[in-house]
């Protein structure tokens, strides 16, 4: 039987390995292995058919030594407390590795918005905030969108918080619509940030993006904008993939002369599921789930969910693969990570690679606090600068210490967080 995947066990194992290399003292090590606090609660809603349904929700704050906790909220039927703990932990390392003054948190509700009306989703959003308002707020813990949550969900949540507190607090949550406290550039920030890292990695290899082919897993927010930016910089994106909720399995969509991202977005629903029949009409080949990883490309971007690149499919990667850019959080299992490391593929680890989203969220908070809004170019130029600086700091350390990129990113992040905890006198 396959081993049960536990994202939090994986996050702790990754941390333990680097804590050992860093020679971190036992007290700090034990402290940073666990979330500081977590809330478990229920969110009852009245369904459109009159019945009451009760959903389970969580908010986890892993660490807030460097600033308020920060991290998204997921709505997913398979959400678990351990996934939320892992994601909260990774947020701590993510904000630290790109050096923004925030900590790490995450939230989730076990529910399936694909099977809920707008009215029902609004009740979940408002019910979530009613439960977390005591622990979450602009100077304590700032949520954001994640898998299957969007700008509208964020606005309902902000509105509920403002109703409870009686003020205007746009900095309560990020990823809001533009015009109601949202930042220009937020939608594309994570995907673009992934590509800024890829561009810089290729520079270090003496290669150009325009000489490369890429294949991406997923076709949601991260994947769509990473694919768009890759194509804009001249790369050929030969494959994307998505979950098909009717067939209950994923498919890959292949086009060897390059997918047209706008065309695919036009035939996708808001959850990033591409219409298979329409894609076939447009000349796409539909292939099995793992086809995206088996392509003859230089760049692979897993940008769907955790636990996707495994010891079963990692050996299927072609020799041409030079870079894996982890758009998703925790997409690579430790067994697959070993295979990737042994093959000498350049890994851009998740909490560095996809830090564009939280960096832009931070810019959104800064704009909210100043009540002064930047242009899209200002946002994206600042984002590029932050991602590029963060990327090279990690790549330089990896070269200097001759360590894997994931370990180098952890070393920088853990050192910054541990230092903040020591300076505060926590451990």
Q: From 15-23, 114-122, 140-148, 339-347, give the range in contact with ligand NAD by CB under 6 A.
A: 140-148
Task: Identify the residue among 104, 170, 220, 349 touching ligand NAD (CB under 6 A).
Answer: 220
Shortest distance, position 25 Cβ to ligand NAD, whole Å: 31
The residue behind tokens 């600086």 is 389
Minimum Å gap between C-beta 164 and ligand NAD is 26
Binding residue (CB under 6 A) for ligand NAD from 98, 148, 309, 325: 148
**Are 336 and 302 spatial neighbours (Cβ–Cβ below 8 Å)?**
no
CB nearer to ligand NAD: pick between 154 and 417? 154
The residue number whose beta carbon is nearest to ligand NAD equals 220
Work out which of 128, 219, 362, 374 binds ligand NAD, going by CB under 6 A: 219
Closest CA to 328 of 278, 362, 292, 376: 292
Residue 106 appears among annotated catalytic residues: yes
- Neighbour tally for 379: CB within 10 Å: 22
225-284 residues in contact with ligand NAD (CB under 6 A) are: 241-243, 250, 271-273
Query: How many other C-beta atoms lie within 10 A of the C-beta of residue 400?
Result: 9
DSSP string, 199-221: HHHHHHHT--GGG-EEEEE--SH
Query: Is there binding between residue 190 and ligand NAD (CB under 6 A)?
Result: yes
Contact between 92 and ligand NAD (CB under 6 A)?
A: no
- Which of 328, 336, 339, 379 contacts ligand NAD by CB under 6 A? 328
Q: Which of residues 390-409 bind ligand NAD (CB under 6 A)?
A: none
Distances from the Cα of 104 to the Cα of 63, 78, 358, angstroms? 5, 22, 10
Q: Closest CB to ligand NAD among 148 and 209?
A: 148
In the complex, what is the shortest distance from the CB of residue 149 to ligand NAD, in angstroms, rounded to a whole number?
8
379 binds ligand NAD (CB under 6 A): no
- Catalytic-labelled residue, pool 70, 94, 106, 213: 106
Q: ∠ at Cα 293 (112, 330), nearest 5°?
A: 50
Work out whether 218 is an interface residue with ligand NAD (CB under 6 A): yes
Please enumerate in sequence order all residues whose Cβ is within 8 A of that of 180, keeping only pairs 6 or more positions apart, or say none.
Answer: 155, 158, 170
Name the residue nearer to ligand NAD (CB basis): 212 or 383.
383
Structure tokens, 243:
């979950």
| Per-residue contact string for residues 349-378; x = within reach of ligand NAD by CB under 6 A | -----x--x---------------------
Nearest to residue 276, comparing CAs of 250, 258, 301? Answer: 250
Judge residue 183's burial from the number of C-beta atoms within 10 Å of its C-beta, 0-12 exposed, 13-18 middle, 19 or more buried: buried
Q: Smallest gap, in angstroms, from Cβ of residue 376 to ligand NAD?
A: 16
Q: Is 83 in the site for ligand NAD (CB under 6 A)?
A: no
Q: Which CB, 28 or 61, lies closer to ligand NAD? A: 61
Residue 300's Cβ-side half-sphere holds a number of Cα atoms within 13 Å equal to: 28
* Nearest distance, CB of residue 308 and ligand NAD, angstroms: 6
Rounded CA gap, 316 and 312, in Å?
A: 8
Beta carbon of residue 240, minimum distance to ligand NAD (angstroms, whole number) = 8
Other beta carbons within 10 Å of 367: 21
**CB of 182 vs ligand NAD, minimal distance in Å:** 13
Judged by CB under 6 A, does residue 217 bind ligand NAD?
yes
Residues that contact ligand NAD, how many (by CB under 6 A): 27
Strands (E), 64-190: 69-75, 104-109, 141-145
The residue among 266, 271, 273, 231 whose CA lies nearest residue 251 is 273
Pairing of strands 236-244, 69-75: unpaired
Task: Output 103 or 250, the one with its CB closest to ligand NAD.
Answer: 250
Active site residues per annotation: 106
Residue ranges binding ligand NAD (CB under 6 A) = 146-148, 190, 217-223, 241-243, 250, 271-273, 289, 303-305, 327-329, 354, 357
């Amino acid at each position: 039987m396959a081993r049960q995947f536990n994202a939090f066990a994986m996050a702790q194992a990754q941390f333990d390995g680097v804590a050992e290399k860093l020679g971190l003292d036992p007290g700090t090590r034990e402290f940073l292995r666990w979330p500081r606090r977590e809330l478990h609660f229920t969110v009852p809603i009245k369904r459109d058919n009159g019945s009451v349904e009760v959903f389970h929700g969580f908010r986890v704050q892993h660490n807030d030594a460097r600033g308020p906790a920060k991290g998204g909220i997921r709505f997913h039927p398979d959400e678990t407390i351990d996934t939320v703990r892992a994601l909260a932990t990774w947020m701590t390392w993510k904000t630290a590795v790109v050096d923004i003054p925030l900590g790490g948190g995450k939230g989730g509700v076990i529910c399936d918005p694909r099977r809920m009306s707008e009215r029902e989703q609004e009740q979940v959003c408002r019910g979530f905030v009613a439960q977390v308002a005591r622990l979450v707020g602009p100077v304590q813990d700032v949520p954001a969108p994640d898998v299957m949550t969007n700008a509208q969900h964020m606005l309902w949540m902000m509105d509920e918080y403002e109703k409870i507190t009686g003020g205007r607090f746009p900095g309560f949550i990020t990823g809001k619509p533009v015009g109601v406290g949202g930042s220009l550039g937020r939608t594309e920030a994570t995907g673009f940030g992934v590509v800024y890292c890829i561009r810089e990695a290729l520079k270090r290899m003496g290669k150009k993006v325009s000489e490369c082919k890429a294949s991406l897993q997923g076709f949601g927010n991260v994947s769509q904008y990473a694919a768009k930016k890759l194509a804009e910089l001249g790369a050929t994106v030969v494959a994307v993939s998505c979950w098909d909720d009717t067939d209950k399995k994923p498919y890959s969509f292949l086009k060897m002369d390059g997918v047209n991202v706008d065309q695919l977005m036009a035939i996708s629903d808001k959850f990033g599921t591409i219409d298979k029949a329409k894609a076939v009409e447009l000349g796409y080949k539909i292939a099995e789930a793992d086809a995206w990883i088996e392509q003859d490309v230089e760049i692979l971007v897993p940008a769907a969910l955790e636990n996707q690149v495994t010891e079963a499919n990692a050996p299927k990667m072609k020799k041409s693969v030079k870079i894996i850019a982890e758009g998703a959080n925790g997409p690579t299992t430790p067994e697959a990570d070993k295979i990737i490391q042994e093959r000498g593929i350049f890994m851009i680890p998740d909490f560095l690679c996809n830090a564009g989203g939280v960096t832009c969220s931070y810019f959104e908070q800064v704009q909210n606090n100043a009540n002064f809004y930047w242009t899209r170019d200002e946002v994206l130029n600042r984002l590029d600068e932050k991602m590029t600086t963060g990327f090279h700091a990690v790549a330089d350390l990896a070269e200097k210490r001759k360590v894997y990129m994931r370990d180098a990113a952890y070393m920088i992040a853990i050192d910054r967080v541990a230092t903040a905890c020591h300076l505060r006198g926590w451990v």
